[in-house]
């Protein structure tokens, strides 16, 4: 027999969370700034990877005013490697909105939280429930997986209508406000999805606190759920990347970088000079001459693949020591930076880090 889905489920999840929660830096208090930054970082990134980024960020930008006033370069540098850089820019825009529209105090009302730049339904729900103890669901992939199994529901979890349905189901199940439990329910569901009702491989139903409420378990269909519509195949782009230096970096030599265009993928971030297509060594050498770098021969790297959400870059690198600090005739000029400058100042996306 499956138990009816009621607040018994809620109690099972929050009780389990209290006993089993991982000790994570953003769980030390309920400051909305802490919850907000961590939730944005945790979108698309593993908990273990976020830990370091979160601690570094809080050291550098401990509150809303410091984020609002920071240089964009510093913000992007703190984000370097997390990907989806618009998230970092939006954080700063929202911090400025909070300074200007809310007197520097994080708003408590759901609609006002939701109206901040870069905050969608999920993040607004997470902040409202965790920081402000409100009965507001936060429906992410973990929560969708759990609820599709609990109900043995074969709806496509990528569909907006499914998210809406799950949010409505959960809204009924949230604990009463005023006991500090709404955040535990939100984080309990997320934690259960990460630790027990896992996405890859077999869920650990034997230790699941919600097992007696779970229709998928009762019917033995856990592994068929959730249903996710196939994604469109990514576009593949061949690229040739140039690692141009004017001497050994260990001995103070410099490497050419430039700023990417203000629009599109990795907007305004740094890049190693690169062109579309896979150039032969001769073509690559010629390209470096056209840029005015006077290259002394080239070494070809192995191929690297970097995956973005809609496109894959298949990159070939050419290393060359140059005797002139050339610069392209179009687009942004090259900046020739030392290893120290690269480390401290240049927001070079992960896609280019393979070559360093």
Give the binding site for ligand ADE (CB under 6 A).
Answer: 24, 39, 42, 47, 187, 190, 194
To ligand ADE, the closest distance from the beta carbon of 39 in angstroms equals 5
Instruction: Give the C-alpha separation, 6 to 14, whole Å.
Output: 13
Q: Which of 19, 39, 73, 206 is catalytic?
A: 39
Number of neighbouring beta carbons within 10 Å of residue 202: 8
Cross-strand bridge partners of residue 344? none
To ligand ADE, the closest distance from the beta carbon of 157 in angstroms equals 16
Q: Is 39 a catalytic residue?
A: yes
To ligand ADE, the closest distance from the beta carbon of 183 in angstroms equals 9
Instruction: Give the C-alpha separation, 123 to 113, whole Å.
Output: 9
Q: Which residues contact 88 (CB under 8 A, 6 or more apart)?
A: 75, 76, 78, 79, 82
What percent of the residues of the chain are helix, what percent strand, and what percent coil, each to the nearest 5?
Answer: 45, 15, 40
To ligand ADE, the closest distance from the beta carbon of 182 in angstroms equals 13
CA-CA-CA-CA torsion sign (19, 21, 25, 29): negative
Cβ pair 139, 121 in contact under 8 A: yes
Q: Cβ closer to ligand ADE: 34 or 239?
A: 34
Residue 307: both structure tokens together: 């995956």
To ligand ADE, the closest distance from the beta carbon of 193 in angstroms equals 8
Q: Which residue is nearest to ligand ADE (CB)?
A: 42
Q: Cβ closer to ligand ADE: 47 or 275?
A: 47
Q: Cβ closer to ligand ADE: 141 or 292?
A: 141
Task: For strands 255-259 and 335-337, give the pairing.
Answer: antiparallel
To ligand ADE, the closest distance from the beta carbon of 4 in angstroms equals 28
Q: Cβ closer to ligand ADE: 47 or 325?
A: 47
Q: Cβ closer to ligand ADE: 92 or 187?
A: 187
Cβ pair 174, 6 in contact under 8 A: no
Q: Cβ closer to ligand ADE: 47 or 115?
A: 47
Number of neighbouring beta carbons within 10 Å of residue 220: 9
Q: Cβ closer to ligand ADE: 113 or 190?
A: 190
Three-state DSSP state, 306:
strand
Cβ pair 307, 237 in contact under 8 A: no
Contacts 24+ apart (CB under 8 A), 157-163: 157/226, 157/227, 157/228, 158/228, 158/229, 159/229, 163/121, 163/139
To ligand ADE, the closest distance from the beta carbon of 300 in angstroms equals 41
Burial label, 60 (beta-carbon count in 10 A; 0-12, 13-18, 19+): middle
Q: Which residues contact 231 (CB under 8 A, 6 or more apart)?
A: none
| Catalytic sites, residue numbers | 39
């Amino acid at each position: 027999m499956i138990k009816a889905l009621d607040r018994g489920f809620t109690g099972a999840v929050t009780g389990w969370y209290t006993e089993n929660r991982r000790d994570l830096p953003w769980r030390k208090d309920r400051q909305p700034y802490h919850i907000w930054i961590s939730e944005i970082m945790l979108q698309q990134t593993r908990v273990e990877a976020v830990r370091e980024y979160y601690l570094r960020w809080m050291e550098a930008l401990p509150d809303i005013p410091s984020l609002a006033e920071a240089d964009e370069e510093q913000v992007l540098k703190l984000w370097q490697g997390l990907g989806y850089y618009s998230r970092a820019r939006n954080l700063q825009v929202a911090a400025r909105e909070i300074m200007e529209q809310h007197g520097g105090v994080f708003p408590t009302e759901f609609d006002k939280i939701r109206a901040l730049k870069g905050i969608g339904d999920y993040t607004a729900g997470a902040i409202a429930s965790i920081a402000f103890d409100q009965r507001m669901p936060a429906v992410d992939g973990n929560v969708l997986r759990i609820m599709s199994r609990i109900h043995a529901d074969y709806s496509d979890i990528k569909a907006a209508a499914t998210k809406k349905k799950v949010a409505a189901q959960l809204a009924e199940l949230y604990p009463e406000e005023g006991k500090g439990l709404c955040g535990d329910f939100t984080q309990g569901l997320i934690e259960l999805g990460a630790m027990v009702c896992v996405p890859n491989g077999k869920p650990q139903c034997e230790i699941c606190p919600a097992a007696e409420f779970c229709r998928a378990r009762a019917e033995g269909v856990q592994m068929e759920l959730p249903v996710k519509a196939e994604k469109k195949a990514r576009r593949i782009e061949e690229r040739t990347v140039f690692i141009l230096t004017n001497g050994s970096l260990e001995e103070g030599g410099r490497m050419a970088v430039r700023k990417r265009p203000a629009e599109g993928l990795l907007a305004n971030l740094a890049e190693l000079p690169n062109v579309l297509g896979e150039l032969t060594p001769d073509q690559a050498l010629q390209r470096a001459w056209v840029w005015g770098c006077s290259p002394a021969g080239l070494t070809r790297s192995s191929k690297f693949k970097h995956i973005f959400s809609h496109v894959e870059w298949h990159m070939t690198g050419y290393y060359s020591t140059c005797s002139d600090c050339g610069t392209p005739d179009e687009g942004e000029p090259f900046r020739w930076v030392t290893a120290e400058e690269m480390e401290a100042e240049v927001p070079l996306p992960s896609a280019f880090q393979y070559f360093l």
